[in-house]
Amino acid sequence: MSYTEDMAQAGRLIRDQDGRWDAIGAESVARMRAQNKFRNGLDIARYTARIMRADMAAYDADPANYTQSLGCWHGFIAQQKMIAIKKHFGTVKGRYIYLSGWMVAALRSEFGPLPDQSMHEKTSVPALIEEIYTFLRQADARELGGLFRELDAAREAGDEVKAKQIQHAIDNHETHVVPIIADIDAGFGNAEATYLLAKKMIEAGACALQIENQVSDEKQCGHQDGKVTVPHEDFLQKIRALRYAFMELGVDDGVIVARTDSLGAGLTKQIAFTREPGDLGDQYNAFLDCEEVTGAGNPGDVLINRDGKLLRPKRLPSNLYQFRPGTGEDRCVLDCITALQNGADLIWIETEKPHIEQIAGMVDRIREAVPNAKLAYNNSPSFNWTLNFRQQVFDAWQTDGKDVGAYDRAKLMSVDYDGTELAVEADNRIRSFQRDAAKRAGIFHHLITLPTYHTAALSTDNLAKEYFGEEAMLGYVKNVQRQEIRQGIACVKHQNMAGSDIGDDHKDYFAGEAALKAGGKDNTMNQFAA
């Protein structure tokens, strides 16, 4: 419904009350409705799920249509990210928000900073989803509030052309609300626990849930050691639990991202159940590191029968079983095919380095079974991107017979190499990584998991160094406030960003001439009008 139509509908409703609602302004109602497009989290989840499905179809048609996101650990951070995207690019299309379990554990747990081991409160994840969408909806309200004030000014000046232009902008306003891909880790328990948590996350607004094939109570960060995977059937139960949660809540387009940590996981907690040779359980067990046993074996041995032979899987004192070295990629491929054939929509392969051909080699094999397989990929801050890509260039040049005698491969991170031909080429490859990987390696969605964790640390360090040093107040003024003004950062008017003007509008609606408003001539925010 357009702004004008909404105003007319509200006007009819007010008139039907026999004068009891005459103090209610139909246009004020239309404005408040426009500022609150989404009534609840499920409205958001359904809306954003449709966006993701359309984006996935667009990518299938042309891999240049890949999507991106940054991980956000607070509603304000997510809000400022989306405001910045609209400011710089005019649209939020193709830009999402990633909600990282790592950052929730590190920054949002009541226990304090925790490692990425699913030790944080499971309720903190849906709480953050709700918080993010609260801030994004507030960004809508703030932006529309500015348009409403412009409309009033145009009317007061008698400028009908400008008034129509502004009304068109109101009717076609693009929301800051975008899809969130939310990390449910390994499900925080069994399939039932996964289902219950998924419902909370969807009700908060999440249209896409990312789940990984690690053991829930032994979960580790994807870039650390000690990862333990589960047999496929265990993982598929949780994928089914997610789908049931989406469908129960009427979010039929909900997206499931199935993550495999098998590339870096050398251990399993269980030997998979198998009914017949070659079934999924048997394929999983075939990767176990085993030794042939003669006779009855030793007391306490767990033995498996393969091709008429008794085999003893290698079991560690932790009671975990070990996979054969060098099987990681094969396991990843099987994991991805299995997940996609059993309800997942996207896959996530956690790698140890950003190497397009490594990813593409696995994707090529996956697409033999699932031709439209697509990835969400972690452009991780755990990678040393500078060193990795300088080494990739070094290796490529060496293979091509180019002289690399001026470079020490082990020390390519050194500042001494900044500005060299090799460093420039490496930076060019980093710049085009997302575009090239989308085209070659099936990556539909590129995300950085922890960027705002690092930007918060970096900016705070820079401010502390200046403000508590010789620059003192100038450290803040020169490097923060002045830059906000010069770059048009909306937060320089922090009262406005926090909703003061929205509150003033509501005071007008509620109290009329009696309204005690904050935005008068003595408001210091007026100093930033120029």
454 dihedral zone (left: phi>0; alpha: psi -120 to 50; beta)? alpha
Distances (CA, A) of 364 to 339, 352, 368, 370, 437: 16, 19, 7, 10, 13
Q: Do 452 and 77 touch, CB atoms closer than 8 A?
A: yes
In whole angstroms, what is the distance from residue 96 CA to residue 373 CA? 20
Q: Which residues of 290-323 are buried (b: 16+ CB within 10 A; e: fewer)?
A: beeeeeeeeeeeebbebeeebbbbebeeeebbbb
Strand, helix or coil for residue 155: helix
In whole angstroms, what is the distance from residue 278 CA to residue 91 CA? 50
In whole angstroms, what is the distance from residue 91 CA to residue 82 CA? 9
Q: Do 212 and 129 touch, CB atoms closer than 8 A?
A: no
In whole angstroms, what is the distance from residue 397 CA to residue 87 CA? 41
Range list of β-strands (E), 76-203: 95-99, 180-183
Distances (CA, A) of 309 to 164, 272, 293, 296, 341: 82, 18, 8, 12, 32
- Annotation marks residue 207 as catalytic: no
The answer for residues whose C-beta is within 8 angstroms of residue 221's C-beta and 6 or more apart is: 102, 115, 116, 117, 382
- The kind and range of the H/E element at 291 are strand 290-292
In whole angstroms, what is the distance from residue 40 CA to residue 17 CA? 27
| Beta strand 67-71 pairing with 95-99 | parallel
In whole angstroms, what is the distance from residue 525 CA to residue 491 CA? 11
DSSP string, 72-98: -SSHHHHHHHHHHHHHHHS--TTEEEE
* Catalytic residue (choose from 72, 221, 290, 336): 221
Structure tokens at 196: 């219950």
Task: State phi, psi for 40 to the nearest 5 degrees.
Answer: -160, 175
In whole angstroms, what is the distance from residue 448 CA to residue 440 CA? 19
Q: Comparing C-alpha atoms, which of 423, 362, 347 is closest to residue 387?
A: 423
Beta-carbon neighbour count of residue 120 at 10 Å? 25
Amino acid type, 34:
A
Angle at 62 between CA 59 and CA 66, to 5 degrees: 45
Catalytic residues: 221
